[in-house]
């Protein structure tokens, strides 16, 4: 069965052509699904009867099963979704005054094992199909529809590394941005990467989605420890790829640099100075994220004073610098706290759990 939620406009047109139909029939189907909210083929009366029958026999619209749904005291919502084979992923909706931002997962677990991210500690099971990336959006919109609202911004900042699930990430972002589907502007769909350099060049060829890069350190020595993929693609190569990417987007658009602040690790004045110097010829804005703790992470939240000084310095150097407020941490929905349930194929999860146990599991959130 082909799950049609995973097919973008090009793929749907190709499917119809394969069946001896004209390409525009694929676009008609998209309108039924995303504009009319209909997924029953019988209702799609402008498609031929044999085609509707073929669709009913060979395709489906399957959504991940909702295992649980929680709402934080600040209104942040978190879905735990069953994506098959005993794997669960998380999706987070962050409602704000003028927007509803959805943070979607792209993989079950993550291969990259950044030292300060709890998703990496769960190990890795596999890629999510595009249909289940889009499915996260469908579920969130169905919920918001009850309040006459919809998702206005998408960030691929949930579990996983989207550029290591390249085809699915591209299909899903195409569907988010397509007028025949969700129709979000390309400025409101952001793909976040830890720095898979060759894939950034590939992405530049096929997409104009907004790009965020998880930098977290101004030097290779430090970044090697925090973001291990840096050992393969060091900062200079990464920033070359980033410049290439934003150049093709056009002058008005910017890269987003994500920088998670960890107390005493990368949040000192010297780091801010080095960061400002490093980024001086990159068209970017900077998003600072205070570290969100999780058991046995080995890191602490930054002091407020250090956050303030770091941000103030960057702003004085002329960088648009935003502080991402922590949302949903009471339901473990904040950045770096998404874990789901990963049928781990690496040894990482069991090593991590042993470390939590050795800590006596006496995890206390650091209060600053
Ligand atoms: N793999 C992609 C997508 C995940 S995005 C990427 O690395 O960009 C998740 C964002 O949250 C990243 O910027 C990540 O570095 C940040 N993050 C991870 N763990 C965190 C934590 N414990 N506290 C705060 N931010 C964290």
- Across 124-144, average pLDDT: 97
Q: Residue 340: what pLDDT? A: 85
Say yes or no: CB of residue 292 within 6 Å of ligand 1: yes
Among the ranges given (73-77, 134-138, 248-252), the one the predictor scored with the smallest mean pLDDT:
248-252
Annotated catalytic residue within 13, 77, 90, 161: 90
Say yes or no: CB of residue 289 within 6 Å of ligand 1: yes
Q: Distance from the CA of 105 to the center of ligand 1, in angstroms?
A: 12
CA 148 to chain centre: 25
Looking at domain 2-60, which of 3.40.50.300, 3.40.50.1980, 1.10.150.530, 3.40.50.2300 is its CATH number?
Answer: 1.10.150.530
**Per-residue pLDDT tens for 154-200?**
999 999 999 999 999 999 999 999 999 999 999 999 999 999 999 99
Which ligand 1 atom sits closest to the C-alpha of 294?
A: 22
335 is catalytic: yes
Alpha-carbon gap, residue 147 to 162, rounded angstroms: 30
What's 65-367's CATH class?
alpha beta
Q: Which two tokens stand for residue 215?
A: 């930098």
Say yes or no: CB of residue 335 within 6 Å of ligand 1: yes
* Sole residue written with tokens 């990259």: 112
* Sole residue written with tokens 């060979």: 58
**Per-residue pLDDT tens for 24-71?**
999 999 999 999 999 999 999 999 999 999 999 999 999 999 999 999
Say yes or no: CB of residue 194 within 6 Å of ligand 1: yes
Q: Distance from the CA of 352 to the center of ligand 1, in angstroms?
A: 18
Element (H, E) at 190: strand 189-193
Element (H, E) at 3: strand 2-3
Say if residues 269 and 313 touch (Cβ distance below 8 Å): yes
**Per-residue pLDDT tens for 256-313?**
999 999 999 999 999 999 999 999 999 999 999 999 999 989 999 999 999 999 999 9
Alpha-carbon gap, residue 82 to 91, rounded angstroms: 11
* Sole residue written with tokens 């990417």: 245
**Closest Cα to atom 11 of ligand 1:** 335
Residue 363: pLDDT band with limits 50, 70, 90: very low
pTM of the predicted model, to two decimals? 0.95
Strand order in the sheet with 210-214: 65-71, 77-82, 88-95, 100-103, 153-156, 189-193, 210-214, 255-261, 284-290, 321-323
Q: Residue 365: what pLDDT? A: 37
Say yes or no: CB of residue 77 within 6 Å of ligand 1: no
77 is catalytic: no
Average pLDDT, the chain: 95
- Domains in the chain: boundaries: 2-60, 65-367
β 100-103/88-95 pair status: antiparallel
Query: 64: burial class by Cβ within 10 Å (0-12, 13-18, 19+)?
Result: buried
């Amino acid at each position: 069965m082909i799950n049609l939620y995973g097919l973008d406009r090009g793929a749907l047109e190709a499917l119809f052509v394969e069946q001896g139909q004209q390409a525009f029939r694929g676009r008609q189907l998209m309108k039924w699904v995303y504009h009319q909210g209909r997924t029953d083929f019988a209702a799609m009366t402008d498609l031929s009867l044999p085609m509707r029958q073929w669709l009913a026999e060979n395709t489906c619209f399957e959504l991940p099963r909702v295992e649980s749904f929680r709402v934080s005291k600040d209104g942040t919502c978190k879905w735990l979704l069953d994506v098959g084979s005993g794997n669960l992923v998380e999706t987070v909706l962050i409602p704000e005054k003028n927007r509803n931002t959805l943070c979607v997962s792209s993989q079950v677990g993550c291969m990259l094992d950044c030292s300060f991210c709890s998703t990496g500690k769960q190990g890795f099971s596999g890629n999510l199909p595009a249909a289940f990336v889009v499915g996260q959006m469908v579920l969130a919109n169905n919920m918001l529809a009850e309040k006459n609202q919809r998702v206005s911004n998408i960030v691929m900042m949930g579990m996983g590394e989207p550029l290591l699930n390249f085809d699915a990430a591209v299909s899903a972002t195409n569907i988010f941005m397509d007028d025949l589907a969700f129709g979000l502007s390309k400025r409101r769909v952001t793909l976040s990467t830890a720095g898979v350099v060759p894939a950034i060049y590939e992405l530049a060829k096929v997409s104009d989605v907004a790009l965020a890069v998880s930098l977290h350190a101004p030097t290779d020595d430090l970044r090697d420890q925090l973001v291990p993929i840096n050992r393969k693609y060091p900062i200079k190569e990464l920033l070359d790829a980033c410049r290439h990417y934003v150049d093709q987007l056009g002058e008005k658009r910017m890269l987003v640099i994500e920088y998670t602040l960890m107390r005493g690790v990368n949040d000192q004045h010297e780091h801010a100075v080095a960061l400002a110097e490093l980024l001086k010829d990159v068209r970017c804005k900077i998003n600072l994220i205070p570290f969100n703790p999780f058991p046995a992470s080995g890191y602490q939240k930054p002091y407020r004073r250090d956050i303030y000084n770091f941000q103030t310095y960057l702003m004085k150097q002329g960088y648009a610098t935003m502080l991402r407020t922590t949302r949903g941490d009471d339901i473990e929905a904040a950045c770096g706290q998404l874990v789901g349930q990963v049928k781990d194929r690496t040894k990482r999860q069991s090593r991590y759990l042993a470390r939590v146990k050795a800590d006596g599991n006496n995890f206390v959130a650091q209060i600053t």
